[in-house]
Amino acid sequence: MNTVFHVTDRSVPLSAKARSRWPARLDLLQSGTGLALGLFMWGHMFFVATILLGKDAMWAVARFFEGYFFFGRSLYWLVSLIVAIVFALFITHAALALRKFPASYRQYRTYRDHMAGMKHEDTTLWYWQVVTGFALFFMASVHLYIMMTRPERIGPFGSADRMWSDLMWPLYLIMLFAVEFHGGIGLYRLALKWGWFERGDPDATRRKLRAFKWAITAFFLVLGVATLVAYVKIGIEHAPFYGQPYEPAWVTGGHQP
Ligand code: HEM
């Protein structure tokens, strides 16, 4: 005889029912933290890229987040607080992602074989999301810790010195590729999972979302590399004056190296 289980079955103890909701809740939390981080990253890339508009523009953005234009002086702890919140989101997101990592080499091999057999783009994308996510554990932690503990060094010269003289550019370059692939794939998978843009033919929606995802990734990679090159150029020129912060001409009334 077939046994039929009903979700509303009252014979199931409440604690077991409540427990069974946890995977869904954790999944929602992972999606939510991922979405928040993905949207934050879009803003972050534009703020950091203001260096392409000139040193004054980047200086103004950095001072804005320190509350300089509201309080008449820089409150660096404000930046540390923002970073601490992003750091908490990042750790939560990473901890929840651990559940989905292959737990043993055997599981990993099974997945790789499955992926090779399927040759399905979305399965391959998931693999790359795991690989880039793993790399970000280490790289983003270094970056976030420095941003949180040395907020006063964020600025056209401070950031450029860090990139070039402190030799952070190789880490930033790899992190840029990792975060753009990871974030792009993540947002694409979220849109599919929650059916945000589903209209009519699901295959057509998937194709359109995939094209959009690649376009966004390519855009932020080009912007990111151009930004990196701009900071490195300033960092090389400013190396003899390492540590000296930037002051815009309208503050100093003169020229700075
Ligand atoms: C509130 C948190 C964050 C702040 C305040 C922040 C700030 C900055 C700043 C000021 C730079 C310019 C270089 C420097 O000063 O060292 C930078 C670069 C960069 N950050 Fe962040 N960041 C934050 C979070 C993140 C996160 C979570 C990631 C990725 C997981 C990330 C990835 C990058 C990358 C890839 C670059 C190089 C950008 C490029 O070359 O175009 N940042 N960040």
Which one, of 42, 141, 130, 139, lies nearest residue 88 by Cα? 141
Domain count, the chain: 1
Q: Give the C-alpha distances (Å, rounded to integers) separating 217 from 32, 50, 182, 214, 220.
A: 20, 19, 9, 5, 5
| pLDDT tens figures, 37-59 | 999 999 999 999 999 999 999 99
pLDDT for res 43: 97
Using CB distances shorter than 6 Å, the residues near ligand 1 are: 44, 48, 82-83, 86, 90, 136, 140, 143-144, 147, 154, 159, 162-163, 168, 172, 175-176, 179, 224, 227-228
Can you give the residue range of the structural domain that contains 104?
23-247
pTM of the entire predicted model: 0.87
The residue nearest atom 28 of ligand 1, judged by CA position, is 140
Please report which confidence band the pLDDT of residue 256 belongs to, taking 50, 70 and 90 as the band edges. low
Mean pLDDT for all residues in the chain: 88
The CATH number covering residue 70 comes to: 1.20.1300.10
Tell me whether residue 2 is in a domain.
no
pLDDT for res 87: 98
Tell me whether residue 4 is in a domain.
no
The residue nearest atom 40 of ligand 1, judged by CA position, is 228
Would the pLDDT of 248 be above 50?
Answer: yes
Tell me whether residue 118 is in a domain.
yes
The share of the chain scoring above pLDDT 70, in percent, equals 90
Exposure string over 115-137, b if 16+ CB within 10 A, otherwise e: eeeeeeeeeebbbebbebbebbe
Ligand 1 center to residue 144 CA distance, Å? 8
Tell me whether residue 130 is in a domain.
yes
Tell me whether residue 45 is in a domain.
yes
- Of 16-30, 114-128, 231-245, the range with the highest mean pLDDT is 231-245
The residue nearest atom 16 of ligand 1, judged by CA position, is 159
Tell me whether residue 67 is in a domain.
yes
Sorted by sequence, the CB contacts under 8 Å of residue 208 that are 6+ apart come out as 197
Which one, of 28, 6, 3, 30, lies nearest residue 17 by Cα? 6
The residue nearest atom 31 of ligand 1, judged by CA position, is 140
Please report which confidence band the pLDDT of residue 114 belongs to, taking 50, 70 and 90 as the band edges. confident
| pLDDT tens figures, 74-90 | 999 999 999 999 999 99
Tell me whether residue 17 is in a domain.
no
Point out the ligand 1 atom lying closest to the alpha carbon of residue 65.
Answer: 5
Tell me whether residue 18 is in a domain.
no
